[in-house]
A and B are shown apart, each in its own frame.
Chain A
Amino acid sequence: MAEQVIVCNELTKRFGDFYAVNKITFEVTKGEIFGFLGANGAGKTTAMRILCGLSYPTSGTATVAGFDVYRQQDQIKRNIGYMSQKFSLYENLTIVENIEFYGGVYGLSRAVIKERSGELIQTLGLEKEAKKLVGSLPLGWKQKLAFSVAIFHRPQIVFLDEPTGGVDPVTRRQFWDMIYEAAASGITVFVTTHYMDEAEYCNRVTIMVDGKIEALDAPQALKQRFQAANMEEVFYQLARSAKRSSD
């Protein structure tokens, strides 16, 4: 049986009488690209924060990379990578400095950091820019670099929160090439997006509506079940009925 790197069982987060996340149950397999979709306010961010070890659930159980979300938050943080559209890198540090900083935060040795950062800069074709401030890079490059930094310590799982928002169509696809490569190397990818064509690139997709998981399957299977031509239509059918619209 395939190894499960995320296991959630009836995971719930309640704020007062508001159920931000309401008994969600799912498993994510090693090396899978797992799309985590939902309308604004459906509870995606809250669920992601719990899985990243940043917030405690109210009830239910979950393990991430084999660690418990209640008792082993530190171990979870060491074994995952995270990148979002908003915060990614330090604009006032150079590319090399950012890589060294993140490598250091994750406790890699100087020798390992040096070796891997050389490789990384070469792979990204950024040799000429290595000593430039990250702030001067185009957005697409920043996002590609941020992703590489997020998996620099070779985490078991990487969480990507709308990584391609606002990125041009060519770079957006190059970014997905990097996601495919990471997944092929055994890193599990947990990704949110508002681009429904990107939902098609995932092995499996969940769609959250009002704190609950309303659908969980491969894109092809979801399209068949909802008799939809594409994932946008599937999403629309499910999310249209949402009552909540908070972020």
Chain B
Amino acid sequence: MPATAETIVGVFAHVDTTVRALEELRAKGYHDLTVYTPVPVHEIEEVLERDRPVSRVRLFTLIGGLTGIVSAFLLTIWTSLVWGLVTGGKYFQFGPGGIVGSSLPPFVIIAFELMVLFGGIATVIGMVMLGRLPRFRPSASFDPRFTNDRFGIAVHCAPGRSPSVREILRTAGAEEVRA
């Protein structure tokens, strides 16, 4: 966003008026929008997600989960090679004919647990990073009512366009329009 841009915020009490404003703004070519909602609303998401790729959080989960599986097998196999404890006739050793012994199945349990652990933690890291959290100061367009029962649209536009944006927001049914 260039430094000269303006931000206009519209506060709405209803979902249908918010959706109407969003559709109108997008039709007029305003795409730099931030929408604040107290809960995720299906109708609003439908408009916003139309031309967006799926959230990349899932990539974090995949990488985390695979890291968990690989590190669990490395840990269990490597430790049973350096500490050759034979229990129940089962051991794990590199012999002349390749791997001797057959204790891989119990290691799957460790791999499963570490997959969930690493995958879960990576998911949260992904959510925090992609959602640009933590924020130490509220953004200028935020209003405390947006976590309670009001919906907000912040439109970032070129300086000269603000009257037209205000007009769109007000016609759609905004309770309040401010800069």
A complexed with B: no
